[in-house]
Every structure is written in structure tokens, then in C-alpha cells.
Structure 1
């Protein structure tokens, strides 16, 4: 597998290093122009890029894998994760979701919480509401308890 390596140096455009693998039909390019560092790997049908400036890093690729013993992500501004398909978060041990202010969970079709034991606790007021039908089923026993219980 012979590789073709090319280095271009320019006082105005910076440096471009190109490595071409004709047998593997892959071209690797490293470029630095004084403001932007760009790494690109182009195959027959897919291209991945890494672009870094003084303020940002952008990675574009078909599959992105991060494998580490510990991962910490910190943001001083808004953080957003978006998927055009299914989004899954899994843990083999305990998992916590915590906010210092409000938490909103919204689904376009259905929402489900399932576990051998589920506890919902409100320190002041708990409101459960349905726009159409509400059903409470204890299976074996259903207990409703309060200082004053009102059934309408």
C-alpha cells in the first residue's frame, strides 16, 4: 500500500499536509492557517472532520465513540443534546437526575415510569390530572389516606 504524501507551505495560507491512500481510497488532510486547525479523513462515501479555532471545536462524523474511565462535562451556559432518532441513557448502577430549580418532563405520545417500587413525593402539593380518563388500580389493595378525603 504505497502512500502519497504532500506538504504545502504558504506564508498566506499556512500549511497543508495531505496523505493519499489510493488502495484504500482514503485521503487524510491536516491544515493550519494561523486561525483554524482542520483534520479531515475522506473515504469513498464518508468524510469526518475535526475543526478547532481559539473559541471552538467542531467534530463531524458518522460514528463518534468516547471511551474513558471517568467523563465530566461542564457548561457555564445552556447545554442541549438532540437526536433525530432514539435517545438512550443507561447506567448499570444508581442514576440521579437533579436540578436546583424546576424539572419538566414532556412526551409527544406517552410517558411511562416502571419499577418494582415507585414513590412520588411532594413536600407541599401533589396534583395528578387527566384531560379525559383517570384510573387508579391497586391490583390487590388500594389505599387512599388523608386528613380529609373528598371523592366527587
Structure 2
């Protein structure tokens, strides 16, 4: 088993610093607790992930983010935004529903809609151009 260098520093001005250093694998984990935030960092030889928590926000920065649970529920009182610098996929092994109280739009250079059994469109007025 790898020997770890573990350190806890207490400082009245800087806060608390907890460090676990795995020199054999070039990995350093740190937790910094101060008067403004909690910062957790995991630094390897080529990648670093960071989580910063303040009283009003949580920020994550990493190469690969995975979330797994039986149920996931997200709620925003204002706005939700999902953006991808590459491909973006949404899929379900069961039903898929999307709805809006007001308008809904879908736009792209090309739009393909397919259904193996039925495609159904309903509305007070349907406009095809």
C-alpha cells in the first residue's frame, strides 16, 4: 500500500487546510475551509478537478462528470440552461415527454422526425412550408 503524506493546518486568518499527498501516484487532494468558501481539489499529474462551495453557489470543474441515482429531480426557480461544445443527446429507455406552458421551438440546419409506428401532430392550426 502507498504511504500517504497527510497534513491538517489550522490558521486563524487562512482557515483550515487538509492535504492528502500520494507522491507515488502524483495525486494531491486538498480541502480548504475559510471564511468565504469550501474548496475541494483533486490534482493528478495531468488533470485537476475542483469544487467550490459558497453560501449561494456550488461550482464544479472537471474533465468527466458522472451522476448516477435511481431518481434525479432538478428544479430551478428561474432559468435552466444546458449547453454543449460538441454533440448533445437526450434519451430514455421508456417514454420521453417535453412540454412548455407557452411556446416551444426546435431549430437546426436539418430536422428529422421519425416514428416506427405513428407520427401525430395536433393543433388549432398546423402550418407546413
1:128 equivalent to 2:128? Answer yes
Matching of residues 55-66 of structure 1 within 5 Å: 55-66=56-67
Q: Equivalents in 1 of 2:50, 2:57: separation in Å?
A: 14
Map of 1:29 onto structure 2: 30
**Superposition map of 1:38-117 within 5 A:** 38-107=39-108, 109-116=109-116, 117=118
Q: Distance in 1 between matches of 2:41 and 2:32?
A: 9
Computed over aligned residues only, the root mean square deviation of the Cα atoms, in angstroms, reads 0.8
SS in 2 for 1:20: strand
The structure where strand makes up a greater share of residues is 2
Structure with larger RCO (C-alpha < 8 A, sep 6+):
2
User: Partners of 1:115 and 1:104 in 2: how far apart?
Assistant: 19
TM-superposed deviation, 1:84: 0.5
Q: Which has the larger radius of gyration?
A: 1
Regions of 4+ moved over 3 Å = none
Q: What residue ranges of structure 1 are gaps of 5+ in the alignment?
A: 130-152
Aligned equivalents of 1:126 and 1:19: distance in 2? Answer: 63
What are the superposed Cα offsets for residues 43-71 of structure 1, whole Å, 9 maximum, x if unpaired? 00100011100000001111111110110
Counterparts of 1:89 and 1:52, CA distance in 2: 29
TM-score by length of 1: 0.81
Give how far 1:126 is off: 1.0
Q: How many residues are aligned here?
A: 127
Q: CA deviation at 1:9?
A: 1.1
